[in-house]
Structure 1
Amino acid sequence: MPTDITLDDLPDLARGAALLGTGGGGDPYIGLLLVSEELRRGRTIRLLTTDEVDDDDLVVASAFMGAPTVVVEKIPSGDEPVTALRTLERRLGRAVDAIIPMECGGLNSMIPLLVAARAGIPIVDGDGMGRAFPELQMETFGVYGVSGSPIAICDSNGHTTVIDTGVDNKQMEWLARGVTIRMGGVSYIAEYPMTGAEVKRTAIPGTMSLALALGRCIREAREHHRDPFDALSQALERSIYGSGRVLLEGKVIDVERSSSDGFVRGTATVSTFDGDTAVTLTFQNEHLVAHHDGRVLAIVPDLISVLDAQTANPITTESLRYGQRVKIFAMSTPPIMRTPEALEVFGPQAFGLHDPWTPVEVLAPV
């Protein structure tokens, strides 16, 4: 049965999405405010499981694109992603039947909810990343044969463009990134038009429900004075992700960060309180790899998030600051993200990393 996303769900969903965003995907707070306003106006958001989508439905992925730090400086009105959707509908000559998140992490968990509320269409409980990734071709939709083109792009002034590179999703990303940079560093997109049957074959199912469940378990653990990190690990064991574990507890002692080419890139170092052990995180919007003394503790596509040591609230890469007391929390990815085809598109080598992918449960056993 379809379920509705309610106003009370949004804080938990945003918290869980920030966790799955692995430091990237943008801070969901701005999106939460926009979606909350739509629900207060009486609009509804219907959530469909992948099995509830008809095979011949037209489903489109919705998201923002660009450097997350820019979104904080250029707060969207909420019209931009809907304009991108309508632009793509005109190009396709058909109305879209449902929205699906491009990624379930961070702000990009909220943008599709906003579109679903404003356009009056349901949203699919799933996505194409199972986390957040920095580039558009890094989606299970594309890994398993869906073309990202045509893609419609809209900026904060309502300017739109459509890019069609056929089956070449990497070229689509390159061109769309250039357009986004010239739009001021952030844009809003509608992409990967696909059938319901293709959604069932290529999407990572249940990720929006998982984000809601993870955010809720953090809140409930705090309310009942339980360890939220234990609660997270237990919740992940019951999911298709399988496991989660704390890699290190300590404080942030160094952050280097810059915005270029439409990305936020940098490193962050977290040291134990006694200074004996330190872990360095490398990120491109999202955390990609965690190193300790040259040894890999976790690496993409497995998830690495930095959480407040007391509250377990996720901290995005643009919000990392010297002195923060944190825990580095790593999660395994679903099997659909660990195939040779998937690793070729969003494994370590896709980011120029020299370390091979090894499952986090092998690198850092509980």
Structure 2
Amino acid sequence: MREITADHMKDMARGAAVLGTGGGGDPYIGRLLAQQALERNGPVSLVDVDEVPDDALVVPTAFMGAPTVMVEKLPSGEETIRALRALEELLGRPVTHTVSIEAGGVNSMIPFVAAAELGLPLIDADGMGRAFPELQMLLPTLGGIRATPMALADERGNDLTLRTVDNAWAERLARSATVEMGCSAAVSLYALTGAQVKEHMVRGTMTLCERLGTTIREAARSHADPVQAATDVLGGRRVFTGKIVDVRRGTAAGFVRGDAVLDGLDEDTGHSLEFAFQNENLVVRRDGEILASVPDLICVLDTDTGEPVTTEFLRYGLRVSVVVAPCDPRWRTPEGLALAGPGVFGYDHPYVPV
């Protein structure tokens, strides 16, 4: 266990946005929410998975919806507390720990808000090892754990609880409710025991976020290559460096969907690259050839600074590098690919591991 203060948030949010593969929310917004909660309430205890009692009640917290909406409709953090309390009331016993449902600039920071405001320890883990657009796309789903009962809360004071027959229906009904709540809502779901956290979550995610963010910052400060430094931490490879020449993006049904086109620079001059996204980056092609796709990580970083570029901030003229990295091995199983592989998003090409 170690104490996490507001001073840790900038590096953690940066690294979380890298792992978020374009989604998971704006790291600046996430950092501000977490910093304010920590400054107001003091540090949060970050505990290792093995420190969690098997009978603990662990409730994740997050935001659901389109990341573009949160740029204009800023969350207060109060929605998160109401969602967690609503689920706690439904479960009939007090929550003992919270945890991140996914990596991302907002969704890795929201659990710090809940932990600081409610005095809960935060587990050093998450449910994906990256970010995915739909709430059934978690490793606990592969372990047979139900997403519901779950609770949603919006900024107007509306709270909603759901029980569904399976996790796909939880996504479907919660997405509809989120759209009615303004395409952004706090959620609390996937109530877990400590034993289930140990078996089904990705260990060490918060520590990896901090390491990634620190590595990028220190590389940029020392005039080293921050993109390569981040690539080394991820265990991936840089596949393209270029300038964004086209972005098509729209918000519909609670998602941000679109694609971007890059013209190559440096050693990639004369080549082009295209990647498509649904909140998160889904597939990347170089000169029409598929280089990587979900569930592996496709990360877009500013070439000069190494800062992660989320899908809502893609714009013409931005010079970026595209890095791909392997996902958690459980996503590469037949069951994992059936839940979050390329075919789930409508692509007919086979999965080719990074």
Query: How would you bin the TM-score normalised by the shorter chain?
Result: over 0.9
* Runs of at least 4 residues off by over 6 Å: none
Tell whether 2:282 aligns with 1:288.
Answer: yes
CA RMSD of aligned residues (A): 1.1
Q: What pairs up with 1:249-328 in 2 under 5 angstroms? A: 249-273=241-265, 276-328=270-322
Q: Which residue of 1 aligns with 2:171?
A: 173
Letter of the 1:68 partner, please give it.
P
The CA deviation string for residues 182-231 of structure 1, in whole angstroms up to 9 with x for no partner, is 01111000000110000101001111110110010011111222221232
Q: What pairs up with 1:89-104 in 2 under 5 angstroms? A: 89-104=88-103
Partner Cα distance (1:83, 1:294) in 2 = 47
Q: Which residue of 2 aligns with 1:226?
A: 224
Q: Is the 8 A contact 1:22 1:303 kept in 2?
A: yes
Q: Which residue of 1 aligns with 2:48?
A: 49
Tell whether 2:208 aligns with 1:214.
Answer: no
By how many angstroms is 1:294 displaced? 2.5
Tell whether 2:353 aligns with 1:355.
Answer: no
Q: Is the 8 A contact 1:221 1:227 kept in 2?
A: yes
Partner Cα distance (1:169, 1:208) in 2 = 25
Tell whether 2:334 aligns with 1:334.
Answer: no
Q: Which residue of 1 aligns with 2:127?
A: 128
Q: Secondary structure at the match of 2:131?
A: coil
Q: Is the 8 A contact 2:231 2:323 kept in 1?
A: no
By how many angstroms is 1:129 displaced? 1.2
Q: Secondary structure at the match of 2:337?
A: helix
By how many angstroms is 1:305 displaced? 1.2
Partner Cα distance (1:318, 1:339) in 2 = 31
Q: Which residue of 1 aligns with 2:72?
A: 73
Partner Cα distance (1:159, 1:45) in 2 = 28
Tell whether 2:112 aligns with 1:118.
Answer: no
Q: Secondary structure at the match of 1:359?
A: coil
Letter of the 1:133 partner, please give it.
F
Moved more, 265-274 or 248-257: 265-274
Structure 2: 5+ residue runs without aligned partners? none
Q: Is the 8 A contact 2:57 2:97 kept in 1?
A: yes
Total equivalences in the alignment:
352
Q: Percent identity, aligned pairs only?
A: 50
The CA deviation string for residues 29-68 of structure 1, in whole angstroms up to 9 with x for no partner, is 1121121112222422111111111000001111000000
Structure 1: 5+ residue runs without aligned partners? 237-242, 361-366
Partner Cα distance (1:94, 1:72) in 2 = 35
Q: Is the 8 A contact 2:153 2:185 kept in 1?
A: yes
Q: Is the 8 A contact 1:28 1:108 kept in 2?
A: no
Q: Is the 8 A contact 1:43 1:118 kept in 2?
A: no
Partner Cα distance (1:73, 1:228) in 2 = 30
TM-score, normalized by length of structure 1?
Answer: 0.94
The CA deviation string for residues 294-315 of structure 1, in whole angstroms up to 9 with x for no partner, is 3111110111111111001011
Letter of the 1:262 partner, please give it.
G
Letter of the 1:135 partner, please give it.
E
Partner Cα distance (2:227, 2:160) in 1 = 44
Q: Which residue of 1 aligns with 2:145?
A: 146
Q: Is the 8 A contact 2:23 2:281 kept in 1?
A: yes
Partner Cα distance (2:232, 2:301) in 1 = 17
